[in-house]
Structure 1
């Protein structure tokens, strides 16, 4: 694999999605471009563009640049961008909906945003912030996902997770009189979103790093009305299918989603791996030590009305654990964004 240091700050990048059509790429002298999100920043400060010069070798000619954005009244009110996906001329960003390693859940992480590719291009040209639309859901998506998961046999929520994520959040909402009080239920699972991609008909697939099934398999949940959330301030998130990838993970080494990509809305590439970062006192791993066992893998599967099928392993990363994004380009090469000690790396797997 080819590797390029992206020299991005902060050094916490998540996910990848393709941007720009052939004309815009040619205008800029590029042959491929991706957006990644920086998850130690607010939504408006999280967008970075990775572009590759036309004709350059895959381990040379890369440009990484932060894209300034303006979220208006929502500036400074979001945290923890974890996923991105492009669809119909927009890039969508998704907050984790989760909390810090020791809890509680945080309403600042409950959001979805979008920015048009035209706004990204304008920001590149004149340096002024791109207009970023933000929907703050105050655990509305948490509620919709938990309702969608109700029919699945999930990994049990351990006592530490129950206390730190669920009970503590409910208590804080009641004590502070939060508008979202009552949205969380005592029987809920905390939700950690780390992957997103669109289906061919415009539903947003959300890949969960946690929870997983009791058998250790990763879960995709469909958000049916993403555009309605931007059009109507009173719209409530509505989730449909919850799909399980049965050929990934096991009870002894469960895996959650880390990244997701598609080129046709039917065949999907994904990164799956451990349930939380090792060595950071994560509550999830304190309850489920087996959640630290699995190595990161690039898998590929199909998804239609009958669910996921034809899962195969494309690449195993071995000792490289923090694989945070995947995007397959027009030539079929797989690009990965990886958090490494002190820097963010882009690696490209060339299929001969």
Structure 2
């Protein structure tokens, strides 16, 4: 694999998605462009564009460009962008819906946003800001995903997770009379979204890092009404099909989703890995130390169009060995895979060239 250092601040990049058609790429002298998100920033400051000079070798002439956005009245009210996906000229960003390593769940992380590719291109060319629409969900997506997972046997929560993420969040909502009080239920699991991509039918497929099934397999949940959330201020998230990658992970090394990409239709590439990073006092690992064992892998799978969820098979494309923090994948028009990786002190883009 070829590696390129990306000089981004903050150095916490997540996920990748392809952007721009031939006209925009050609105008700038690029042949590839990807969006990544910086999860330590607010949503409006989280966008970065990774571009490659047309005709250059894939291990050379990459650049990272920050794209700042105007979020209007929602400026400064969000954090922890973890996933991105593009469709019909828009890039969608998704907050983790989770909390810090020690909890509780954070309403600032419960959101979804979109920005047009044209607005990103205009901001790059003018030096201005792109226009970002943000829907603050106030745990609405947490509620919808938990309801969708009601029929799935999940990895049991330990006492620490229950207290730090669920009980503490419920208590804070009551004590502070929050608008979202009552949305988080005592039997809920905390939800950590780290990947997203669109299905052929327009549903947004959400890749979940935590929780996983009781057998340690990763979960994907379909968000059915993405556009409605932006069009109707009273709309609430609606989730449907739940999918399980049955060949990935296991009881001794449970694995979650870290990145998603589509090769068209319902064919997907994914990065899977551990449930949380070791050595950072993560409550998830305090209850489930086995959650640190899963290695990072690039897998491929296809979802059937005639089935309402279930278990699907996945094929391993690449094993990353000792590299743990693989945060996103995008496959370009020539079939080469690009990965964004968090390493100590910097962000790396690695390219796997397939013959």
Please state which band the TM-score falls in when normalised by the shorter chain.
over 0.9
The 3-state SS of whatever aligns with 2:303 is: strand
Tell me the residue number matched to 1:159. 159
CA deviation map 1:100-134 (0-9, x unaligned): 00000000000000000000000001011100000
* Deviates further, 23-32 or 127-136: 23-32
Conserved 8 A contact 1:198-1:265: no
Tell me the residue number matched to 1:334. 337
Any unmatched runs of 5+ in structure 2?
Answer: none
Determine if the alignment matches structure 1 residue 22 to structure 2 residue 22: yes
Aligned length: 352
Pick the aligned partner of 2:350 from 324, 333, 347: 347
1:200 deviation in Å? 0.9
1:263 deviation in Å? 2.3
1:43 deviation in Å? 0.1
CA distance in 2, matches of 1:331, 1:203: 26
4+ aligned runs moved over 2 Å, structure 1: 305-310
Tell me the residue number matched to 2:59. 59
CA distance in 1, matches of 2:56, 2:323: 26
Q: TM-score w.r.t. structure 1 length? A: 0.99
Equivalent residue runs for 1:148-297 within 5 Å: 148-297=148-297
Tell me the residue number matched to 1:318. 321
CA distance in 2, matches of 1:116, 1:62: 23
CA deviation map 1:11-58 (0-9, x unaligned): 000000000011211111110100000000000000000000000011
Tell me the residue number matched to 1:90. 90
The 3-state SS of whatever aligns with 2:17 is: strand
CA deviation map 1:220-246 (0-9, x unaligned): 000000000000110010000111111
The 3-state SS of whatever aligns with 2:145 is: helix
CA distance in 1, matches of 2:312, 2:153: 20
CA distance in 2, matches of 1:92, 1:66: 17
CA distance in 2, matches of 1:59, 1:340: 18
The 3-state SS of whatever aligns with 1:165 is: helix
* Deviates further, 23-32 or 163-172: 23-32
Conserved 8 A contact 2:69-2:131: yes
1:68 deviation in Å? 1.1
CA deviation map 1:152-206 (0-9, x unaligned): 0000011000000000000000000001000000000000000000001110000
The 3-state SS of whatever aligns with 2:184 is: coil
Q: TM-score w.r.t. structure 2 length? A: 0.98
Equivalent residue runs for 1:101-180 within 5 Å: 101-180=101-180
Pair 104,310 (structure 1): closer, same or farther in 2 beyond 3 Å: closer
CA distance in 1, matches of 2:203, 2:111: 17
1:212 deviation in Å? 0.1
Tell me the residue number matched to 2:99. 99
Conserved 8 A contact 2:263-2:269: no
Equivalent residue runs for 1:34-73 within 5 Å: 34-73=34-73
Any unmatched runs of 5+ in structure 1?
Answer: none
1:265 deviation in Å? 2.6
CA distance in 2, matches of 1:170, 1:190: 12
Conserved 8 A contact 1:146-1:188: yes
The 3-state SS of whatever aligns with 1:304 is: coil
1:310 deviation in Å? 4.3
Conserved 8 A contact 1:68-1:127: no
